[in-house]
A and B are shown apart, each in its own frame.
Chain A
Amino acid sequence: MRGLAEDDKTPFLGRRIAPGIRIVAIAIISIILMMVDHASTSLTPVRSTLAVATQPIQMIAEMPGEIAHYMGRYFDRGQLITENEALEQKVLLLQARLQRLASLQAENERIRALLASASSLDQNVLIARILSVSPDPYRHYIKLNKGSTDGVFVGQALVDANGIMGQVTDVTPLDSRAILITDANHGIPVEINRTGLQTIAQGSGKSNELRLPFLANNADIRADDLLVTSGLGGRYPAGYPVGTVTSVVHQPGDEFLDVVANPSAHLNRGREVLLVWTSNTEAQAREDEAITEAAPADDAGAEPTAP
């Protein structure tokens, strides 16, 4: 047994400081850092720089999965052929629908113009690939391969073929991070498609569950109701499917209904997502960013509290 009392005091800036004092100093610095990080975006540049530095190790960690994915494709020719055929049929079907949609859109826009409505159906999309899902099982984040150089900005909505997935929360030059609607810290303004009733769907922390905690006991909602984005709050474009109600339970004595919904988007499957935004939201986001330089953005609608 060696007494290492002296070695405990490793030299720091030429002095030897006892670990007790150091841990107190580290704790104070950490707490200040966390508070600053929580309250403002001033640490974002530091974060993005470090994120770029840690990119290689993350890419290496993703590699086994990627290799398995590609090897699977290489060996499974039969599956590839059936997949291809299915996709061809789907393209045909979708194209047929699209033809109808184009005329419908034109009609809709004419009618909107007649009503002198300001809202437009014009939406921009960007395809991104999912690089990785959150390694922390309690935070529902995904990493995307598009960053600010590709035009990604904070607040962009993420959709897949079936519905809304989430929104972008952090952007580095080369990649970005998005929070999913099932994250316990995420809320999304929705309306019930059947009745137009507005409410907020909160993530539950489970990957297949949303909760609607703010519905009064007499609210008109039942199982199998479709929830779509209401577009309130300005983050999400209106009219995209969010989920379907799976159960509505009224606990006697409670003021609110216990409503659970199942997200429409396939949150834990698939590798490609669409980033959707309207020119309005882009301008809004740029404006927000300019404001956040001074104060944190306080969006009433869908604001992740702890990115």
Chain B
Amino acid sequence: MIIERRVSGLLIVATLGAALFLALLPLPDALSAVRPAIYPATVLFWVLMQPMSFGLIAAWCCGILIDVIYGTPFGEHGLAMAVAGYAVIRLRDLLWTFPVWQQSVLLLPVFILYEFVLFWIDGVAGAEVNQWWRWLPVLTTTVIWPFWASLLERIAEFEVG
């Protein structure tokens, strides 16, 4: 497990960059609605695996970046990311006892929480999107998590040796 060792900051930035690339890749509308939230998943992965170097403040900064790119109110995604990160920290002891593919079941509520914070702020800001398919990315992220997380773990293990 890579949680025992510190991964270099460069690797974290590189994986976040790759996730952001996947998040920004233009897709047709129908696909875009079910696009898994790879970027938040990556942030949460590092919150889970690198508690010493990647904490809530880093997660918040990653969210702020999304706010800039999406043009959402400053701090919306930051807050959602930090809240989800906090949930991961709370669940961390439990999460570590499971293999990656079982973690995703436990992370489903975390992804729901992330989406719910966004949904709430959107509603308050008057940009309400109250359609059931808004929650589809939560499911696809849960499905994609085992693959994405084990890929990230492989890469990290490869780096720390």
Chain A bound to chain B: yes
A contacts with B, residue count (CB < 8 A): 54
A19 interfacial by beta-carbon distance below 8 Å: yes
Chain B contact surface mostly: helix
B8 interfacial by beta-carbon distance below 8 Å: no
* Chain A min CB distance to B129 (Å): 4
Contact (Cβ within 8 A) A10 B51: yes
Contact (Cβ within 8 A) A306 B126: yes
Within 8 A of A (CB), among B5-31: 17, 20-21, 23-26, 29
For residue A169, which residues in chain B have a CB less than 8 angstroms away from its CB? 71
A22 nearest CB neighbor, chain B only? B56
Q: Which of A20, A22, A30, A184 has the most CB of B within 10 A?
A: A30
Binary per-residue interface labels of chain A (22-54) against chain B in the complex, 1 for a CB within 8 Å, 0 otherwise: 110011011101101110000100110011001
Contact (Cβ within 8 A) A26 B56: yes
Contact (Cβ within 8 A) A19 B56: yes
B109 interfacial by beta-carbon distance below 8 Å: no
For residue B56, which residues in chain A have a CB less than 8 angstroms away from its CB? 19, 22-23, 26
B contacts with A, residue count (CB < 8 A): 47
Contact (Cβ within 8 A) B52 A34: no
B55 interfacial by beta-carbon distance below 8 Å: yes
B45 interfacial by beta-carbon distance below 8 Å: no
A224 interfacial by beta-carbon distance below 8 Å: no
A8 interfacial by beta-carbon distance below 8 Å: yes
B78 nearest CB neighbor, chain A only? A30
Contact (Cβ within 8 A) A61 B51: no
Q: Besides the contacts A8-B51, A23-B86, what 18 more A-B pairs have beta carbons closer than 8 Å? A: A1-B93, A10-B53, A19-B56, A19-B86, A22-B55, A26-B78, A47-B68, A47-B74, A50-B65, A54-B65, A64-B25, A133-B26, A135-B32, A135-B69, A136-B70, A137-B33, A185-B126, A307-B71
